[in-house]
Structure 1
Amino acid sequence: MAVFKIVHSTKYQYNWPIKESINEIRLFPYNFENQDVLKFELNITNNPNVDISQDRYGNRVGNFNNLEVHSEMAIESRMIVRVNHSLKIPEIDTTTIQDLEVEKEKSIELLRLSYPEAIEKQNKIIAILNKIKHQDKPVIEIARLCNQYVYSNFSYTKGITNIETTLDEVLQHKKGVCQDFALVLLQLLRTAGIPSRYVSGYVCPNKSGLRGEGATHAWVEIYTPTQGWLGIDPTNNIWTMDNHIKLSVGRNFTDCTPVKGTFKGLAKQKLSVSVSVEYEDGRQFEEVNEVQLQEISLEKQKELDYIEHVHQQQQ
């Protein structure tokens, strides 16, 4: 059992004042059998009202508007979470893909989570499954082999992918970070016929060292009728353990994006995200990332350059 204090800070900065910022957040940690949320606090610039609802996957979703003119917006979530599942290696399970077909007939959601994405390099996915000889193996074993393959054959490299990077691009370069690893594993498992979902959360540092620790993290959960949803982490080639804190689940990253939104105004924006993790004994870890945002259009860039030029002339 472990207790963590986590502070997740998201800061948007704009070079010109903007208004009517409309946002959606998934920053509320899960309460489930092996994870208890002991305390949660949310702080947002200008203290807007946050309307909280639940999406189709059971995630708590917050929606808010920041209508006042502003040049900066900060969103900070503070939580104390207790986790109690150690290294949850699944029990011996003989469930097969054929057994899952019966389960999928009972649940449209399980069926939906079994469909792979339509990608150009699907032949590479099929080749990997053939290489590990997944046919006739139990579901747990297929998941383990796929997880191990991604870990061993894809290079953990920061800075070469972003939220717009496609699965085809990851398969081409065989490099990326936890989000990319999770998407590849999902495609493998779903192609094999296993209901699987994307998980967004944190992986807290431990003595053995984990890739992606101390920051937002992503992994995968598979479904078996005997054990429910089981977490598996391709970035570290392990089943989830006490260090994994779950925020949200969904079909892909889009369903689990911690913060997303839009605004009125013509301005360049800068996004930075920091995550601080504190243990019961006082140890603390912090990571700050400058997030690479989607490139703006050439037309918009010209408008921004013109405004900047006029401003300089006036000075």
Structure 2
Amino acid sequence: MKFKITHNTDYLFNSEVFLEPHYLRFRPRQTAYVDVTDYSITILSEPTGHRVVQDEENNVVDFCWFEGMTNQLTITSTSILETKAFNPFDFLIYPLHFNQLPLQYDELQKKLLFSTLEGQLISQELLDYGTAILKASNFNTISFLTNLTKQLHDDFSVEYREVGSPLQPDETFTIKRGSCRDLSWMQINLLRQFGIAARFVSGYYYFDMLEPAYELHAWVEVFLPGIGWLGLDPSHGIFTGNTHFPIASSAHFENTMPVSGGIRGSATSKLITQLSIEKYK
């Protein structure tokens, strides 16, 4: 199946500003089950320089720099993707001891995964919530990940919030609602408390809607030997499939933001975004 994704982002300034260099993260990642057959990006005001680079965590990023003054920054990316058949449960965890929690990564793995294991302090109430699910799952790794992801979907209301960093995990847990990035950041920090390497993912998610209204999506990936990075979507209570299209992943959510960069000037700005995902022939 083919999909066409068009993502338009407009920053409109009430007076002219100078754009500092920007990192743009809109380019879907090639995976074993998604082929990126075409990609284009248009940037206005037109940058003086534009280079495609890999960041510290191997995400592919468009890096741009500018000259002169402008009152807008408009970014339009268009992607054509072709999906392949994919079964998220077609795997073998190996070594076998990773089937039971707590996980015991070896010393090299701990070094390579260090930033995705580095958790922040969370409340005892949130920890107890995860521990109860862990015990009910008989400390089985896949059962725990499945049950936790589904329980988060059942217990928390998902709401849309266009801008802003994820809420702190304890705040999301207390109010029992949040955006996809709030739920993902809470789950990541809970998983790290149980010694599971977890990272934040930004991307697109297609599913059939009567009235399509897509937005940039966030989910979680955990590292298990034999599987690699396994996707979990707490907003929908599922493992990710072949219509989750990752763009950037990081131990720190800041490194997945679609637009990173500053301006020189005293203007205020207005952000307008529009995202369409459609089946493509």
What's the offset of the Cα at 1:251?
0.9
8 Å Cα contact 2:102-2:139 kept in structure 1: no
* Alignment partner, residue 203 of structure 2: 201
Higher relative contact order (CA closer than 8 Å, sequence separation 6+): 2
Look up the match of 1:95: 98
Shift of 1:99: 7.6
**Cα deviations by residue, 1:124-179 (Å, 9 ceiling, x for unpaired):** 22111222134852221221121122111111122498326333322221211111
Could you list the runs of 5+ residues in structure 2 that have no partner in the other structure? none
Tell me how many residue pairs correspond in the alignment.
276
Alpha carbons of structure 1 residues 111 and 142: separation in structure 2 relative to 1, 3 Å: farther
Identity rate of aligned residues, in percent?
24
Q: Is there any run of 5+ residues in structure 1 with no aligned partner, and where? A: 282-315
Return the alpha-carbon distance in structure 2 between the equivalents of residues 194 and 270 of structure 1.
Answer: 39
Q: Sort the Cα spacing of 1:104 and 1:236 in 2 relative to 1 into closer, same or farther, 3 A.
A: farther
Q: Which residue of 2 aligns with 1:109?
A: 112
Task: Pick the structure with greater CA Rg.
Answer: 1
Q: Do 1:3 and 1:279's aligned partners in 2 also have CA atoms closer than 8 Å? A: yes
> Does the aligned pair in 1 maintain the 2:20–2:264 contact within 8 Å?
yes
How far does residue 280 in structure 1 lie from its aligned partner after superposition?
Answer: 2.2
In structure 2, give the amino acid aligned to 1:114. L
Give the whole-Å Cα distance in 1 for the aligned partners of 2:242 and 2:162.
29
Once the 2 structures are TM-superposed, how far is the Cα of residue 205 of structure 1 from its aligned partner?
Answer: 2.4
Shift of 1:63: 1.9
Change (3 A) 1:237 1:186: same
Secondary structure (helix, strand or coil) at the match of 2:56 reads coil
What SS does the corresponding residue of 2:46 show, helix, strand or coil? coil
Aligned-partner SS, 2:117: coil
Counterpart in 1 of 2:229?
A: 229
Indicate whether 1:52 and 2:52 are aligned. Answer: yes
Q: Residues 161 and 29 of structure 1: is their aligned pair in 2 closer, same or farther, counting only changes over 3 Å?
A: closer
TM-score (structure 1 length as normaliser):
0.80
* TM-score, with length taken from structure 2: 0.89
Aligned to 2:21, what secondary structure does the other structure show? strand
Equivalents in 1 of 2:162, 2:22: separation in Å?
A: 27
Contact in 2 for aligned 1:148/1:234 (Cα 8 Å)? yes
Q: Does the Cα contact within 8 Å between 2:45 and 2:74 map onto a contact in 1? A: no
Residue 104 of structure 1 deviates from its aligned partner by 5.2
The Cα of 1:12 is off from its aligned counterpart by: 0.3
Distance 1:208 1:75, change over 3 A: closer
CA distance in 1: counterparts of 2:204 and 2:186, whole angstroms = 19
Give per-residue Cα distances to partners, 1:158-208, cap 9 Å, x unaligned. 249832633332222121111111111111211111111111100112269
Task: Give the aligned partner of residue 239 of structure 2.
Answer: 239
Partner of 1:143 in structure 2? 145
**Change beyond 3 A, Cα 1:102–1:160:** closer
What is the Cα-based RMSD across aligned positions, in Å? 2.5
2:25 equivalent in structure 1? 26
In the TM superposition, what is the alpha-carbon distance from 1:256 to its structure 2 partner? 0.7
CA distance change for structure 1 residues 136 and 104 in 2, over 3 Å: closer, same or farther?
farther
Query: Cα distance 1:36–1:123, how it changes in 2: closer, same or farther (>3 A)?
Result: same
Find out whether 1:126 has 2:148 as its counterpart.
no
* In 1: Cα distance, 2:46 partner to 2:158 partner: 38
Q: What is the Cα deviation at residue 19 of structure 1?
A: 1.4
Equivalent residue in structure 2 for 1:162, among 161, 164, 170: 164
